[in-house]
Amino acid sequence: MSGLRVTVLGLGLMGAPMALRLVQAGHQVTVYNRTRDKTAALERAGAKVADSAADAVASCEVAITMLSDDDAVAAVLDEILPALPTGATVIDMSSVRPDTARAHAAKLEAQDCFFLDAPVSGGQIGARDGTLSIMVGGNGAAFARWSSLLGALGKPLHVGPTGAGQLAKLANQLLVGVTLAAVGEALLLLQRGGADVRAAREALLGGFANSRVLDVHGQRMLDGQFEPGGYIATQLKDLDNVLIAAGDLQLPTAEVARDLFAEAVEQHLGDRDQAAIYLTLATRNFKPPT
């Protein structure tokens, strides 16, 4: 078998379709996930399934992590470090804090391994179609080495030193979070005023207000379809990390959006799609759609 020896750790909404694309690109893919049943489809597609994260990386050239948060990435990294071959690269495609990425890079460099932080934007659709925007921080030579591999998943761009990828992702999530709230408010304004909301949204898509959020998530809001392509709880985590990274920088719209997503989590919407922020806005005004 040709192709690179690639390990993928974490097979959630994003990790599973990304791993499948790497299999389809002809790489030798080994996968591990704590919940074993999530590996079944990948095994049928040709991936090798490991019994532990350490076993998964034992002979890899590159390991990709796609996990839920900082703590999850740190725990998996500690587990795989003793088994990771010298000279291997870890590419963390999770969304974590920039300082977390820098700490992971230092651990790997001390073991003669390499690290790139490469979070993504584009959601489950982008993961499936290989159209993700991949924001890569780290050594330029390491980026050049792995850019072709990442190209099977989307469009990788080197945005600066270690941690810069995560900083770019936080900027992305700031824009997405604020825009999600604005789209929800705009649709409620149209609804309350008696407009044909669907027609008005089509008109907005033709002007300066056009965005992927208005297109994709606006449609989900109108259709009441909140099965997750990404989670409310993840959006809240990312907005919390935005404010941590900001330090004493004042980001008032980020703070308002963060509090709105925290309210949604309190309403038990954390496992719904980010578009469900519409329901939180609706409850402030009138009975939400069922």
CA distances to 48, 73, 107, 180 from 165, rounded to whole Å, are: 29, 15, 18, 22
Lookup: tokens for 24: 């389809």
CA-to-CA distance for 160 and 75, rounded, in angstroms?
26
Single out the catalytic residue among 107, 155, 169, 287.
169
Residue pair 233/191 in contact by the 8 Å Cβ criterion = no
The one-character DSSP state at 55 is: H
Number of Cβ atoms within 10 Å of the Cβ of 129: 13
Amino acid identity, residue 125? Answer: I
Q: Name residue, tokens 């992971």.
A: 104
CA-to-CA distance for 238 and 242, rounded, in angstroms?
6
Lookup: tokens for 47: 């991936």
Number of Cβ atoms within 10 Å of the Cβ of 191: 17
The one-character DSSP state at 51 is: S
Residue 31: burial class (beta carbons within 10 Å; 0-12, 13-18, 19+):
buried
237 part of the active site: no
Lookup: tokens for 13: 């909404």
- The residues annotated as belonging to the active site are 169
